[in-house]
A and B are shown apart, each in its own frame.
Chain A
Amino acid sequence: MKPAPFDYVAPATLDEAVSAMATGEGDAKVLAGGQSLIPMMALRLARPTRLVDINRLPGLDGIREASGMLEIGALVRQRALERWAATRSSLFAEVLRHVAHPPIRNRGTVVGNVVHADPASELPALLLCLEGVVVARGPRGERMIPADRFYRAPLTTALAADELATAVRFTLPPAGAGWGFAEVSRRHGDFALVGAVAVIALAADGTVARARLAFFGAGGTPVRGLALEQALAGRAATRALVVEGARAAAAALSPDADIHATGAYRRQVAATLAERTLTAALARCGGPR
């Protein structure tokens, strides 16, 4: 047995799950795909006293697209969204291809990845880039937490210990918007050393209506590239402006150093990836989603 002992409950309704979390004395964990939680328990980095397995809950496995939003229920596997994206969204398809490996994506959920809040993970940065929202349910009812207020520190979010995330919502880029995604990692499927994802929408006169950029692996949480977004807004996106904005956005980062890379290296790569993703997004403007 690798993990420390725990109580296991597999509720049949959301209300039962909420009350199982609430009576867990702050030490209950939601088990959905388990692709981050079970390794942490195997290494005993996590020792929850109760696991609330939500896999039997009805109605949480839906992918719904409505009025420009994409809502993904807490039991949607990453692989299911990848299959949806294959015909619906080249941006989501490209991002999901980089999330671990098929056997992990077959079990791992989108919501679980977002809520686990690994700062080097792709989906939290995508949520931030696409102005996403986490739908949380707890004993005090339901609330929506915007992505830019959700991430607090590595593996730490605004979710309370007795709350569970039932869904995430992404704002889909408007028709004609372009996207860019790039990451540097040692092997395909590894957590990124640094990565970036960008979306640009152009106005009728060709100036930038909105630019949105998010970095991952560049700090304790996913981080927006505000300097670049502001540099481009309302202006014609010339090459010089993109390069200058990318440098300014990267200069504002404070990435950590670890055995894989120094902070300075990460900041330098972030500038290059910001420039690449913005350039790719501009090139895709006007094309298919």
Chain B
Amino acid sequence: MTRPIRVTVNGQEHERVVEVRQTLADFLREDLDLTGTHLGCEHGVCGACTVLLDGEPIRACLMLAAQADGRSVTTIEGVAPADGLHPVQEAFWAKHGLQCGYCTPGIIMSTCAFLREQPAPSREEIREMLAGHLCRCTGYHFIVEAIEAAAQALAPPTPRPTPRNE
């Protein structure tokens, strides 16, 4: 059974006919060739396939492509500006927040949404958010540091008191 859908992915509109049992993750990877969204467990546990749906992080393996009709999706391919890396990506690079990189796209998508809601998170809050993402390489320490660094990079500059010359 198939169904026509119209979905906006990384700002570009696509009209496709999808099998109703195809997941959003498979649609992104196989139909749109956006293979940056990784699939680990394919049942919602590992977090590798996390993408943004209308700006909120969701598991792309736990949603049918047919359900994305009329919605807007952002994948890891839509995060970086044309001429470089997003500050969250920069921070993961600078702080060695990845080794094999398989879990990284999902963590970066979650981090982008997380820092928008909690611009100055504590380490405990970062770890609570990361509980939804499995990384089998890093032991998480550098990921936590990368997210802290990203928070600082994204924070608006704190206004410094102007020295007064009297």
Contacts and interface: CB of A to CB of B under 8 A. Distances in A.
Contacts of B3: 8
B132 A107 contact: no
B44 A8 contact: no
B58 A103 contact: yes
B21 A101 contact: no
A188 B124 CA distance: 11
A39 B62 contact: yes
A179 to B, nearest CB: 21
A8 B64 CA distance: 10
Contacts of B42: 2, 42
Tell me the dominant secondary structure on chain B's binding face.
Answer: mixed
Contacts of A31: 64, 67
Contacts of B62: 34-35, 38-39, 104, 107
B63 A187 contact: no
A106 B57 CA distance: 7
Given A1-B26, A5-B21, A42-B61, A106 B131 contact: no
Interface residues of A, number: 31
B44 A187 contact: no
Nearest to A107: B58
Contact of B132 (A39, A42, A53, A103): A103
B103 to A, nearest CB: 13
B44 A39 contact: yes
Interface residues of B, number: 32
Nearest to A106: B56
A203 interface: no
Contacts of A53: 64, 66-67
Contacts of B102: none
Given A39-B43, A42-B42, A3 B21 contact: yes
Contact of B57 (A2, A97, A102): A102
Interface string A106-148: 1100000000000000000000000000000000000000000
Nearest to A43: B43
A8 B61 CA distance: 17
A6 B20 contact: yes
A224 B127 CA distance: 32
Interface string A41-70: 011000000010101000000000000000
A7 interface: yes
B89 interface: no
Given A5-B21, A103-B110, A107-B59, A189 B131 contact: yes
A102 B126 CA distance: 12
B117 to A, nearest CB: 9
Interface of B: 1, 3, 19-23, 26, 42-44, 47, 50, 53, 56-59, 61-64, 66-67, 110, 113-114, 127-129, 131-132
10 contacts: A1-B22, A8-B3, A8-B20, A8-B21, A42-B42, A103-B110, A104-B44, A107-B59, A188-B131, A189-B132
Given A8-B66, A107-B59, 14 more contacts: A1-B22, A8-B64, A31-B67, A38-B23, A39-B43, A53-B64, A101-B47, A102-B110, A102-B113, A104-B59, A106-B56, A188-B128, A189-B128, A189-B131
Q: Which 4 A-B pairs have the closest CB atoms?
A: A101-B132, A39-B43, A8-B20, A188-B131
